[in-house]
């Protein structure tokens, strides 16, 4: 029997179900080459490549639009004559069949990586195809999501966005990963789906398929083969917690009545109905990228008016903060030439795109569409720009919004420069919203995509909280709202800290609203200020969390 | 010097993104349909098999780059016509 284990609980809730592991990438056996019959070995390798391509074809048929286009291009790669040539050559050089396949993919991977930029990203696609081919050669399942036919706890080393895209919330009841951190993709996804999740639990490597586990996504505790009495107690407590959350309603306020707007983040039309059904005061961050990414031409103004109108209609009478397009070399648009950027997170992204002619007209079209949609509906529409660094950029954007008939224009604060000079930034616009995910990445100089730096990206980092404090203080002096939209606002304890630092609204995953409201209702504003002081006094993120939890 | 039955054509790539992504896919598919064996090269570099999407990607030909197509075998001229026309079509455009 496996002992209890703990990781970092990143999405509260408890669940009890058998484990199903993400099919791992198969480890290739030792190189036993040369193959006695290289011609037969080449035929075997080609058959495996064809099986991989055929599987992709099947999935491309089920998909539509861009996804189908991508899968179609992917299926050409295993069938590529040059790949077969490389395998033949590696076999002739005395490699075993699996190692000849690895070498052949490696050859193209190195060539693509050397080219850099867009092509270097395709290198990861080749790794995936290589792993699939090896799995077929070894008679193993192709790497990917399990489908045991009953509800299960998904266990994985880590989850890639591609793995989670197909996740079915009806069958996956909780997620455990060996790696990852509080701001990892897994954590964000689990929170948005309301699934209990535990990350950074290396001991989970020992959990085998079929083992019954009890998972607590709040405390991070995982109990394999628990006693029935314990399961009942935990699930009873979970039912009570869910009921308490369901009972919490109305606008956010502290125990002594200080109002804090609780808002939801919205990133796609698919999530709209569920987001609108949540008891909140509106949308604090409406990400508009979904209209622009994964397509070959820019959306027309009419198409945008329609899409924004659907959101404004669903939030009729409530506030909706629209963030203008945040694209760039890290989220490239097919219809804009982004050029080669060696460092896309620091490049022409967000409002900086408007420096180019193409980006400037995209922004004008977008503001025209937002204004037209706002005209037709009764939502209170605010607009803000991503990646603002200077007061000049903030003022210029606000002027542009007003010229389009949009009266309330603000600034995302995700660049440290904008936080440091928040009072000047607020002189030229009406409000600010702290994007703590990017602000953390830029403050700690830690790439959000780099799992090895997860603890630097922890939203409890005191340096990040210092910048939140500066911006909130500037807002108080200017008597302009300064909110937080980012993972930080989804954590009930951290939400209290943010309120203590002076932020006026919290925007979060819709599933997090009830828990944040319930926590906030138990603390006075003075409590929140005390918690904030403790967090700022800490040297490390983990220490800040510990100190505040003990408050 | 190419042998007499080998035909050659110089073409400038029209797609802004270059011979990547969708333009590369369409070109490789078309090349695979040709009876003649076609290669493509950037100036001063080794020619690669035009049917190979992977080799096309490693060629890293950008929009506005000039490339050399060569075709060998039956219908070489017709193959060059078709493939040159494909490269001269801007596949970024809607």
Nearest C-alpha of chain B: how many angstroms from A82? 6
Residue A9: its H or E element? strand A8-11
pLDDT of res. A127: 85
Q: Which of A112, A334, A337 sits opposite B58 (nearest CB)?
A: A112
Contact flag B25-A335 (C-beta cutoff 8 Å): no
pLDDT of res. A149: 79
Contact flag A80-B53 (C-beta cutoff 8 Å): yes
Separation in Å, CA A235 to CA A154, A207, A231, B94:
19, 21, 6, 54
Hey, is the C-beta of B85 within 8 angstroms of any chain A C-beta?
no
Separation between Cα atoms, residue A27 and residue A143, nearest integer Å: 11
Nearest C-alpha of chain A: how many angstroms from B92? 7
Separation between Cα atoms, residue A364 and residue A381, nearest integer Å: 17
Contact flag B58-A122 (C-beta cutoff 8 Å): no
Residue B60 lies in a domain: yes
Closest CA to A117 of B21, B72, B49: B21
pLDDT (average), residues B76-93: 87
Residue B1 lies in a domain: no
pLDDT in tens, chain A (551 residues): 578 998 888 888 899 999 999 887 788 888 998 999 999 999 999 999 999 999 888 877 766 665 666 677 788 999 999 999 999 999 999 999 999 999 999 999 998 888 766 676 677 778 888 999 999 999 887 877 787 778 999 999 887 655 665 677 788 999 999 987 776 667 777 876 778 999 989 999 999 999 999 999 988 899 999 999 999 999 998 888 788 777 788 999 999 999 999 999 998 888 899 899 999 999 999 999 989 987 888 999 999 999 999 999 999 999 999 999 998 867 788 888 888 788 888 999 999 999 999 999 999 999 999 999 999 999 999 999 999 999 999 999 999 999 999 999 999 999 999 999 999 999 999 999 999 999 999 999 998 777 678 788 889 999 999 999 999 999 999 999 999 998 789 888 899 999 999 999 999 988 889 889 988 988 999 999 999 999 999 999 989 988 887 78
pLDDT tens-digit series, residues B3-20: 557 899 999 998 887 888
Separation between Cα atoms, residue A462 and residue A467, nearest integer Å: 9
**What is the bridge-based pairing of β-strands A221-224 and A5-6?**
antiparallel
**DSSP code of residue A180:** -
Size of interface A-B (CB pairs under 8 A): 52
Does the complex come out with an ipTM higher than 0.85? yes
Domain encompassing residue B61: 6-87
pLDDT at B94 > cutoff 80: no
A414 is in an annotated binding site: yes
Q: Give the Cβ contact number of residue A457 at 10 Å.
A: 25
Separation between Cα atoms, residue A216 and residue A11, nearest integer Å: 9
Separation between Cα atoms, residue A498 and residue A414, nearest integer Å: 15
The answer to whether the CB of A272 falls within 8 A of the CB of A310 is yes
pLDDT of res. A61: 77
Q: Give the Cβ contact number of residue B92 at 10 Å.
A: 20
Residue B94 lies in a domain: no
Separation between Cα atoms, residue A432 and residue A410, nearest integer Å: 5
Q: Helix A462-478 crosses helix A492-501 at what angle (to 10 degrees)?
A: 50
Q: Give the Cβ contact number of residue A44 at 10 Å.
A: 17
Instruction: Quote the strand ranges of A407-510, DSSP E.
Output: 409-413, 431-434, 482-485, 505-508
Residue A218 CA, distance from chain mean position = 19
Q: Which of B20, B51, B57 sits opposite A81 (nearest CB)?
A: B51
**Residue A15 CA neighbour count, 13 Å, CB half:** 25
Separation between Cα atoms, residue A52 and residue B13, nearest integer Å: 32
Give chain A's radius of gyration (CA, Å).
25
Residue B93 lies in a domain: no
Q: Which residues from chain A sit within 8 angstroms of residue B20, using beta carbons?
A: 118-119
Q: Which residue has the tokens 């390798």?
A: A45
Q: Which of B49, B52, B60 sits opposite A115 (nearest CB)?
A: B60
Q: Which residues from chain A sit within 8 angstroms of residue B31, using beta carbons?
A: none
Q: What angle do CA B55, A341, A113 make, to 5 degrees?
A: 30
Contact flag B49-A83 (C-beta cutoff 8 Å): no
Residue A198: its H or E element? strand A197-199
Q: Give the Cβ contact number of residue A235 at 10 Å.
A: 14
Q: Give the Cβ contact number of residue A45 at 10 Å.
A: 25
**DSSP code of residue A29:** P
The answer to whether the CB of A508 falls within 8 A of the CB of A490 is yes
Residue B48 lies in a domain: yes
Give the rounded percent of residues in chain B with a pLDDT score beyond 90.
Answer: 49
- How many domains does chain B divide into? 1
A296 is in an annotated binding site: no
**DSSP code of residue A105:** H
Hey, is the C-beta of B57 within 8 angstroms of any chain A C-beta?
yes
Closest CA to A545 of A5, A8, A4: A8
Separation between Cα atoms, residue A99 and residue A504, nearest integer Å: 58
Q: Which residues pair with A266 in a beta bridge?
A: A286
3-state secondary structure of A381: strand
Q: Which residue has the tokens 């803000």?
A: A384
Closest CA to B20 of A338, A348, A46, A102: A338
3-state secondary structure of B66: strand
The answer to whether the CB of A467 falls within 8 A of the CB of A420 is yes
What does residue A283 show for φ and ψ, rounded to 5 degrees? -105, 125
Catalytic residue among A401, A429, A485, A528: A485
Hey, is the C-beta of B14 within 8 angstroms of any chain A C-beta?
no
Residue B76 lies in a domain: yes
Which residues of B form the catalytic set? 20
Contact flag B92-A73 (C-beta cutoff 8 Å): no
Which tokens belong to A528? 């929140």
Separation in Å, CA B94 to CA A65, A216, A337, A365, A427:
14, 50, 15, 18, 42
Q: Give the Cβ contact number of residue A545 at 10 Å.
A: 21
Q: Which of A82, A122, A334 sits opposite B55 (nearest CB)?
A: A82
Residue A172, exposed/middle/buried by CB under 10 A (0-12, 13-18, 19+)? buried
Which tokens belong to A185? 């993709």
- Whichever domain contains B33, its CATH number is 3.30.1340.10
Separation between Cα atoms, residue A528 and residue A248, nearest integer Å: 19
The answer to whether the CB of A434 falls within 8 A of the CB of A482 is yes
The answer to whether the CB of A340 falls within 8 A of the CB of A116 is yes
Residue B30 lies in a domain: yes
Closest CA to A80 of A105, A98, A102, A115: A105
Q: Which residues from chain A sit within 8 angstroms of residue B28, using beta carbons?
A: 76
Separation between Cα atoms, residue A159 and residue A174, nearest integer Å: 13
The answer to whether the CB of A310 falls within 8 A of the CB of A274 is no
**DSSP code of residue A406:** -
Q: Which residue has the tokens 């950037």?
A: B42
Q: Which residues from chain B sit within 8 angstroms of residue A334, using beta carbons?
A: 17, 92
List, in sequence order, the alpha helices (H) in A459-512.
Answer: 462-478, 492-501
Separation between Cα atoms, residue A356 and residue A546, nearest integer Å: 46
Separation between Cα atoms, residue A430 and residue A410, nearest integer Å: 5
Contact flag A112-B57 (C-beta cutoff 8 Å): yes
């Amino acid at each position: 029997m496996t002992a209890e284990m703990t990781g970092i609980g990143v999405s509260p809730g408890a669940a009890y179900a058998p484990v199903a592991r993400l099919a791992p990438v198969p480890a290739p056996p030792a190189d036993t080459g040369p193959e006695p019959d290289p011609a037969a070995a080449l035929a075997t390798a080609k058959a495996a490549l064809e099986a991989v391509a055929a599987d992709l074809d099947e999935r491309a048929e089920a998909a539509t639009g861009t996804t189908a286009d991508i899968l179609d291009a992917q299926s050409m790669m295993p069938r590529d004559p040059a790949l077969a040539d490389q395998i033949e050559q590696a076999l002739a050089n005395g490699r075993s069949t699996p190692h000849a396949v690895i070498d052949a993919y490696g050859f193209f991977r190195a060539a693509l990586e050397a080219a850099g930029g867009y092509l270097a990203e395709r290198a990861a696609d080749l790794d995936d195809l290589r792993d699939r081919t090896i799995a077929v050669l070894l008679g193993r399942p192709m790497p990917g999501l399990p489908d045991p036919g009953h509800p299960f706890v998904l266990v994985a080393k880590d989850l890639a966005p591609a793995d989670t895209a197909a996740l079915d919330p009806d069958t996956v009841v909780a997620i455990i990963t060996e790696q990852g951190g509080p701001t990892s993709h897994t954590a964000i996804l689990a929170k948005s789906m309301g699934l209990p999740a535990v990350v950074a639990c290396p001991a989970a490597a020992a959990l085998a398929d079929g083992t019954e586990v009890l998972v607590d996504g709040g405390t991070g505790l995982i109990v394999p083969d628990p006693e029935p009495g314990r399961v009942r107690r935990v699930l009873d407590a979970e039912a009570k917690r869910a009921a308490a959350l369901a009972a919490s309603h109305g606008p956010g306020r502290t125990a002594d009545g200080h109002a804090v707007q609780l808002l939801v983040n919205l990133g796609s039309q698919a999530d709209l109905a569920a987001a609108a059904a949540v008891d909140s005061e509106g949308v604090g961050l409406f990400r508009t990228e979904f209209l622009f990414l994964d397509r070959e031409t820019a959306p027309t103004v009419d198409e945008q008016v329609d899409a924004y109108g659907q959101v404004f209609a669903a939030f009729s009478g409530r506030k909706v903060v629209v963030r203008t397009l945040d694209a760039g070399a890290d989220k490239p648009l097919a219809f804009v030439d982004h050029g080669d950027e060696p460092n896309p997170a620091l490049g022409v992204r967000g409002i900086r795109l408007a420096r180019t002619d193409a980006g400037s007209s995209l922004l004008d079209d977008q503001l025209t569409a937002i204004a037209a949609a706002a005209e037709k509906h009764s939502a209170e529409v605010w607009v803000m720009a991503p990646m603002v660094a200077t007061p000049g950029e903030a003022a210029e954007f606000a002027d542009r919004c007003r010229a389009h008939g949009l009266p309330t224009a603000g600034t995302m604060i995700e660049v440290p420069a904008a936080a440091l000079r928040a009072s000047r930034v607020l002189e030229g616009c009406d409000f600010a919203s702290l994007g703590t995910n990017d602000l953390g990445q830029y403050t700690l100089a830690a790439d959000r995509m780099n799992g090895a730096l997860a603890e630097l990206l922890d939203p409890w980092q005191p340096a990040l909280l210092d910048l939140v404090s500066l911006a909130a203080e500037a807002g108080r002096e200017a008597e302009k709202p300064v909110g937080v939209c980012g993972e930080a606002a989804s954590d009930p304890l951290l939400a209290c800290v943010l309120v203590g630092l002076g932020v006026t609204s919290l925007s979060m995953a819709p599933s997090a609203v009830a828990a944040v409201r319930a926590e906030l209702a138990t603390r006075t504003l003075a409590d929140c200020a005390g918690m904030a002081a403790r967090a700022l006094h800490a040297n490390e993120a983990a220490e800040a969390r510990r100190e505040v939890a003990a408050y | 010097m190419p042998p007499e039955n080998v035909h050659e054509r110089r073409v400038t790539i029209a797609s802004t993104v270059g011979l990547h992504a969708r333009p590369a896919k369409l070109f490789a598919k078309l090349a695979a349909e040709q009876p003649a064996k076609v290669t493509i090269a950037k100036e001063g570099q080794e020619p690669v098999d035009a049917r190979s999407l992977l080799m096309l990607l490693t060629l890293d030909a950008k929009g506005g780059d000039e490339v050399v197509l060569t075709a060998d075998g039956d219908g070489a001229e017709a193959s060059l016509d078709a493939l040159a026309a494909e490269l001269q079509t801007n596949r970024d455009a809607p």
